[in-house]
Structure 1
Amino acid sequence: MKYYIKQVLYISAIIGGVLGIFSLIPYFMCLGSLIFCIISVITIIFLKRNGYAGVISLNDGTVIGAISGFIGAAAACLVYMPLAFIGAIIFKQPLLFKFNDLIFIVPITIVVFGMLGAIMNAFCGMVTAYLYEKLEKDRPEEEQVDFIIDEE
């Protein structure tokens, strides 16, 4: 478990940063919100496909999901908030909050979205680990079949 925590942190931070940028585009906001719920699934599939993780238990899937959900949501907030603030200044949009409020609101927003992301992705990670466990157990082993050819 502790061997691939660093990879989980990097992968989920990259996914969260990309989602933070895509969330600036109004048409992709809905899709970005949907992808927030499956950051852990993407992370676990990436780890399994590239050989970074072997057998993942339900506990490992839950922990990976919680970590990737929190880090992904925090990274998305850290990318989205400043870019939205700069965009509002450039395009002369009325700001919902001033810069002093931004210092107070951003940490609270990051923690709240991080906790929501951790809870949702912990469940998704647990389900993904369960499905991987079921698929690996149900996969038939490479059966050796010996054919005996009788010559008559």
Structure 2
Amino acid sequence: MSAGHTAVTTVGAAADEPVISCETPQDECGVRDVLDRLGDKWSVYVVVELASGVLRFKELQRRIHGGISQRMLTLTVRRLERDGLVKRTVYPTVPPQVEYELTEMGHSLTHLVKALADWSIAHRPAITAARASYDETQDA
């Protein structure tokens, strides 16, 4: 396998084999760079909101729960645009009108985000129970 490739186990593989691994500890498989982007506080929110269609900047800002600042939204959409996940269109009006939409690659990410959300919903009771159990043992 060439550098940067990952090995993925299949159903029935040995229990001690990792689900995903890099060839060497120094080889990040390209995962870190992507996870840094998607693991930040706002990128997934932006992707989720843009999944419904084209939005202007202020519309996008209003739809993101948690009150993202104008500066943080600007930085987030710029990073997503740089990564090829968001397309930014500027219309020559006064003031300039700017719209954002997901690219084809950005739309492909929405399936993964939905799978993660579905997993989270399905496991919420178990996670809540695990947290309560952990907290009990830590308080004792």
Please report the TM-score for the alignment, with normalisation by the length of structure 1: 0.28
TM-score (norm 2): 0.29
Structure with more relative contact order (C-alpha pairs < 8 Å, separation 6 or more): 1
Structure showing the higher helix proportion among its residues: 1
